[in-house]
Amino acid sequence: MTEQFPLSYAVPTALLLIALVLKFPTLVRAWRDPDVRATTLLLSFATVVLVVITPVNIARLNELTGVPNIASPWAYSFLTAFCATGLTMIMRWREEPSPRRRRRMRRVYWIYAGIVVALWVTFLLADVPEPRIYDLDTYYAGTPWMREHILLYLSAHMVSSLVATSMLWKWFPRIGNRWLKSGVVCLQAGFASGLVFDAAKLTALTARWSGHDWDVLSTRAAPPFALLEAVLVAVGFIVPQVGPSLQNRIHERREYRQLRPLWSAVRDVVPSTLSPRSVRRMPLGLRLVQRQQRIHDALRILAPHLDRDLYRRARRLAPEGLGEDEARGLAGAVTVRAALDAHRGDEPARASLDRREPGADLSDHIDAISQALRHPHLIDSIRQRVTTTESVDTDVS
């Protein structure tokens, strides 16, 4: 990364672009939904602001248009639009649809649209011939009309950040979804970072007006908080959307792997008509459902060989300290192994494990059975003890 494309700008811009990409399929499916449109607009405005304020792009805009500092009204207009969209979006979250909410949202849009117009008017009236890449605000802090231009965008941003932070703070206790709650925390922190940015900028401007040079607050201290705001806002919208799907994918991946031992044991009972390549191309969720279904199919085929007494004896011989699910899984693994041996040896059918539905107990615990199959020595030991017990019982009788 060169100095022209600093990492400090690239990272938040990339995060916002990721958030936009993740949101785009939802926008396509539900573009009539005002919440979806508002979220997309919010992320779009934030992304454009970061793209415009990147130093290399400020210089390019000056060169392409021939207008010094033209990036200022562009960036601040999109920032103002971002503020308005953020406020109205939070209103949609917090309040039920009503004429009052609709009037308040329209009022916000009209006020901030007026600010955007005023930003362009003040810039056009201002005399700012010297291009400034890093210190525009403090360099022109005393310039007529440019002073008002700067105060307009800072005031609009500060008010929106204060109101948004307050609204999110009051809404937070009523949120039940943990992913949404995490996103709101990030948004709160993001808007709070925006307030720090405004405070640093206003302090530097006030110092300029009083004849002091505190420009470092504007040029050095404030920008990191603006970038932090962009990162946190991006994360705030990414987390509620990506979190549940990522959690679901992790759960599916874990369950798919947990079923591998049982699937490997019974796969010959129900031969697949699909090639391994076709299976690999399937979505993970579909592969999991297929694996579960084929395991259940195999258990139904093995039902005539599932020995009910063997299951009960194995359950009683399970080592102490095992939980109920683990003990059931171990007994089920012993029973399935015995049924597989009987099936492959063409032995006559045995009494089923459950008269109402053969293999029902096993079908309800396939995860535990699969985990137990990871310990073949324990399974063999219990089978041997069950066989020994049966022999003793036979001799006694």
CA distances from 143 to 80, 146, 205, 218, 220 (A): 22, 5, 12, 17, 22
Distance CA 342, CA 332 (A): 15
Kindly state the DSSP code that residue 259 receives in the 8-state scheme.
Answer: T
The mean pLDDT of the chain is 85
Residue 144: partners with Cβ closer than 8 Å, 6 or more residues away: 125, 126, 127
Please give the model's pTM, rounded to 2 decimal places: 0.71
pLDDT tens digits, one per residue of 271-318: 766 666 666 777 888 888 888 888 888 888 888 888 888 888 888 888
Report residue 136's pLDDT band, with 50, 70 and 90 as the boundaries: very high
